[in-house]
A and B are shown apart, each in its own frame.
Chain A
Amino acid sequence: MTADPAQAVIRRGIVLTVLALIGVAVVMVMALKFTPVEANQGLAQKIFYIHVPTATVALWIAVPATGLASMLYLWLHDPRLDRFAAASAEVAAVFCLVVLTTGPIWGKPIWGTWWTWDGRLTLTLFLFFLLLGYHTLRGSVRDPLERGRFSAVLGIMGMALVPFIHLSVYLWRGLHPKPVVLKPSAPSLPWEMLRTLLTGFGVFILLYVGFVTLRYGLQLAQDRKEEADAA
């Protein structure tokens, strides 16, 4: 047992992150060895098992969690909410970066182009820029109360983009495929593929939790150090 709560959170975050990274390797092996090759798209379709769970966790967990924590922060002014929102936004940016790199690598062999200004792709790129702006803003405001307030507004704006990103494939004609799991009807995938995809969802949720816990613990340690220095 450690007396420092920040160290305990950091340790928990490291354990969860390491377990989740092992899980990511397991998902890759499952996709490569134990999931059938899609007849039309070939091996490139297996990028889907990393890309889709990453995008789902970013858009449906990381960004909304940032937005909700930001809203609650504006109401309650609890520094724990600001710390959590900041950790979640940083992890959301990392997940978005994976989405925005693996997507084009899939797009090149399937669509014949790395990038197209499709609604889903463009809005996801905007969200990524917004998250980078959030990070930059936090680094440039010294006063913690102002920093929390300003960044909370950006966090809420990020959350407001999510429904548009999800509905973009229905609202505008584009190349991006429509959802195969997060839709009103049953998932349109054979079980062998769905099994790998669902494992991916579990693993990337764990990775998000591990990263956020670790980032939160680091910020908590930093805040405690600043408080001690100021005292």
Chain B
Amino acid sequence: MPPDNGPYLIAAYIVAGVIYLGYAVKLISEARRR
């Protein structure tokens, strides 16, 4: 029976998603300001 550690997976995907999405939004909003 695999260990029950699903919340760590969700946390990692949220953190990675927030970093990538945040950086993309920063660059795109900078492009829109120009």
Contacts and interface: CB of A to CB of B under 8 A. Distances in A.
A102 B12 contact: yes
Interface stretch (A131-139, A161-169, A212-220): A212-220
A218 B30 contact: yes
A105 B12 contact: yes
Contacts of B3: 41-42, 44, 109
Given A211-B24, A214-B28, A108 B8 contact: yes
A55 to B, nearest CB: 12
Contact of A214 (B2, B4, B15, B27): B27
A101 B16 CA distance: 8
Contacts of B31: 10, 13-14, 214, 217-218
Interface string A23-43: 010001000100001111111
A39 B20 contact: no
Contact of A21 (B13, B24, B30): B24
Interface residue range, chain B: 20 to 34
B21 A43 contact: no
Per DSSP, are chain B's interface residues mostly helix, strand or loop, or mixed?
A: helix
A51 B16 CA distance: 9
Given A109-B3, A217-B31, A98 B19 contact: yes
Nearest to B3: A42
Contacts of B27: 13, 17, 211, 214-215, 218
A47 interface: yes
A185 to B, nearest CB: 26
A122 to B, nearest CB: 21
Nearest to B24: A17
Interface of A: 10, 13-14, 17-18, 21, 24, 28, 32, 37-44, 46-47, 50-51, 54, 94, 97-98, 101-102, 105-106, 108-109, 207, 211, 214-215, 217-218, 221
13 contacts: A21-B21, A24-B16, A39-B2, A40-B2, A42-B6, A50-B12, A54-B16, A98-B19, A105-B12, A109-B8, A214-B27, A214-B28, A215-B27
